[in-house]
Structure 1
Amino acid sequence: MNNLISTRNRVVNKKLSLGFMGIGWIGRNRMKVLLEDGHSEASVIFEPFQQNADEALKLAPKAQLLQNSVDFYEHPEVNGVVIATPSALHASQSINALLAGKAVFCQKPLGCTAKEVRQVINASKQVDKYLAVDLSYRFTEAFQAVFNTIQRGEIGEVYAVNLVFHNAYGPDKDWFYDIRQSGGGCVMDLGVHMIDMALNCLGFPYVEQVRSHLYSKGKKLVPGAEEVEDLAKVSMITAKNTAIDLDCSWHVSEGRDAVMEATFYGSEGRVAFKNIDGSFSDFKAEKYNGTQTEQIAGATDEWSGRAGLEWAQKVLDGQGFDPGSANEYLQLAEIIDRVYGRQT
């Protein structure tokens, strides 16, 4: 098996052998970063759209393009599977890959509901294979600077968090606007990243209250609506009485491409993650004390593939099921269900 020594949990190999399922723009970006790192190789690709497949094969000309998903999951040389397909497929594809003995790196959301996420986690636990979700903004230098500032106690006890993610354009694929395929609108697409940032910095506390107001083209939606929201206002209260407020939207008139902010109010100061000049990819971190502002991060940062690289390294190191990260994914999914008024 290509100089591979395998035990139940550990894989020792010069390169990690990967299968890629879904090779659109995001899938190819993650593939490119993983392959350029030099510790992974693309063995198989499953992609129904020929144009996407052709572009992927330019990055990995030796990879085998498969048309049968069973052959993909069961491929004997593959150690891990990278999934970047439409959201409704994530849970079933992750479960199939895990039960075939592969580690999984999946785009968010891991499932369209908490029930689906729980099923994926159970599969990961059953086979003791590492599962990770591409919550990519965690890995920006700006977010890490905010996280470390809070963990060091530099702004005291955090008592409030304001989260904003407005996208002037919205998704360009039709399936995003079909709740059966997407699981939700701008909260599922954008807000999930911001909620994850807040919970991550706060140590994933229990969220006691969730109140949401969801709108589609200015019309307020009721729980269980078949439409997806293009604007949301969500208020949460944790068990420690920390207030978390989220505003997010698609197609909003903000005078710029995007607004992304996560601001943490502490008893001794404030710290914030912000995008720069409306950018989707450039961020800075600022710390505030009285009238003073200190920029603590903001240099050029190639962050988009770091989550995948960390996953790949852990798979190479023999990481199996991780209950800590699994609990975070499930808690996040349960909060999203509550935003949409779904039973968890």
Structure 2
Amino acid sequence: MTATKRPRIGFLGTGRIGIRRMQSLLQSGLIKAAALSDPSAEMVDAARALAPEAAVLPDLDALLASDLDGIVIATPSALHAEQSIAALEAGLAVFCQKPLGRTAEEVGAVVAASQKADRLLGVDLSYRHTAGMVKIRELLGQGTLGEVFGVDLVFHNAYGPDKPWFFDKRLSGGGCVMDLGVHMVDLALWALGYPEVVETTGHLFSKGRPIDRDSETVEDYATATMTLASGTVVRLTCSWHLHAGRDAVIEADFYGTAGGASLRNVDGSFFDFRAVHHTGTSSQVLAEPEADWPGGAALDWARKLAQGQRFDPAAHDFTTVSTVLDRIYAR
């Protein structure tokens, strides 16, 4: 593949998330959808409506045997690590839906396979790519907020997942922390430059009752506290099916000695975000709601792939985030 050639991409899994990422990538013009595979005829038909020239193949093995440069994986979580490793070992770049693995061990194995194969690895941690978080990260990097001592992260989804495997910890790796918390932990660590996390505590609940952190029961409400080497305290709260009076509550607040910054969803939306810089009792808007940011992580991966980029050492950050989740689950 040359730096000027559009990468030929295969799509494994074209359900709700998979087809959205396909649509974003096709609209960008960065890639060519060469092949797709999904066990559902309905999902295949929906994908072919977007990419009528793409070959419809029966499974991953068939995709790997095709003339592809990369693959987008949007399958159930239990399959992510194994499928990603298989694709990397076959010489393909990989973009995978989160979580990349159910444990830090699984994630580390995928990152190691990416490094060994010298192939690009991306994960759909999309909230980094909101205009608001980009602005907040710039403030943090410039030292505008002073010394950051506190971070509050919230992600409540009033509906929760609609697939049974999400509620089987052997298949999902965990509940709302694995599904929603992964985004917020990544967001905070990415914004702060991936500082060392020296202590992690957590409290998990199922249907309003506390459960052991290493329980086989999947949590639907969780709180966790992460203490960084600097002494900064990061607090996470996330849930499914919470009575919060709106579809979603998604917030990231950064508090420093010289100012604060907040990313908040607007009117309960899963997609519309506003970012604000606080100084004392005054606030200045940094960014208003935008259009297609959910595809940002996929587009970033596709641009790098089109430019010929191979293994990116930043992939080790995926393992760092997964290690924090392991600690929340007392693994």
Report the Cα distance in structure 2 between the residues aligned to 1:309 and 1:202, rounded to whole angstroms: 23
Counterpart check, 1:337 vs 2:326: yes
Report the Cα distance in structure 1 between the residues aligned to 2:18 and 2:36, rounded to whole angstroms: 11
Q: Secondary structure at the match of 1:30?
A: helix
The one of 210, 227, 242 aligned to 1:220: 210
Counterpart check, 1:36 vs 2:27: yes
> Is this contact kept in 2: 1:47–1:53, CA < 8 A?
yes
Q: What's the C-alpha RMSD, in Å, of the aligned pairs?
A: 1.0
The one of 156, 159, 166 aligned to 1:169: 159
Instruction: Report the TM-score, using the length of structure 2 for normalisation.
Output: 0.98
The Cα shift of 1:14 comes to: 3.2
Code of the residue aligned with 1:329 in structure 2: it is F
Deviations 1:98-144 (A, max 9, x none): 00000000011000011101110111011100001110000010111
Instruction: Report the TM-score, using the length of structure 1 for normalisation.
Output: 0.94
Match of 2:87?
97
The one of 193, 214, 236 aligned to 2:183: 193
Deviations 1:270-324 (A, max 9, x none): 101110011000000011111111111114332011111110111111111111x
The Cα shift of 1:13 comes to: 4.6
Counterpart check, 1:108 vs 2:108: no
Report the Cα distance in structure 1 between the residues aligned to 2:65 and 2:99, rounded to whole angstroms: 24
Code of the residue aligned with 1:203 in structure 2: it is G
Code of the residue aligned with 2:81 in structure 1: it is A
The one of 271, 287, 292 aligned to 2:261: 271
> Is this contact kept in 1: 2:251–2:262, CA < 8 A?
yes
Code of the residue aligned with 2:253 in structure 1: it is T
Match of 2:193?
203
Report the Cα distance in structure 1 between the residues aligned to 2:53 and 2:198, rounded to whole angstroms: 51
> Is this contact kept in 1: 2:181–2:236, CA < 8 A?
yes
Match of 1:16?
7
Deviations 1:1-47 (A, max 9, x none): xxxxx4xxxx3353210000000011001001111111211111111
> Is this contact kept in 2: 1:139–1:307, CA < 8 A?
yes
> Is this contact kept in 2: 1:90–1:109, CA < 8 A?
yes
Match of 1:326?
315
86-95 or 38-47: bigger deviation:
38-47
**Equivalent pairs, count:** 331
The Cα shift of 1:224 comes to: 2.4
Code of the residue aligned with 1:204 in structure 2: it is Y
> Is this contact kept in 2: 1:141–1:301, CA < 8 A?
no
The Cα shift of 1:81 comes to: 0.3
> Is this contact kept in 2: 1:140–1:301, CA < 8 A?
no
Counterpart check, 1:307 vs 2:300: no
Q: Secondary structure at the match of 2:85?
A: helix
Q: Secondary structure at the match of 1:45?
A: strand
Report the Cα distance in structure 1 between the residues aligned to 2:6 and 2:192, rounded to whole angstroms: 36
Q: Secondary structure at the match of 1:144?
A: helix
Match of 1:86?
76
Match of 1:62?
53
Match of 1:290?
280
> Is this contact kept in 1: 2:12–2:36, CA < 8 A?
yes
89-98 or 35-44: bigger deviation:
35-44
Q: Calculate percent identity across the aligned residue pairs.
A: 49
Report the Cα distance in structure 1 between the residues aligned to 2:53 and 2:292, rounded to whole angstroms: 26
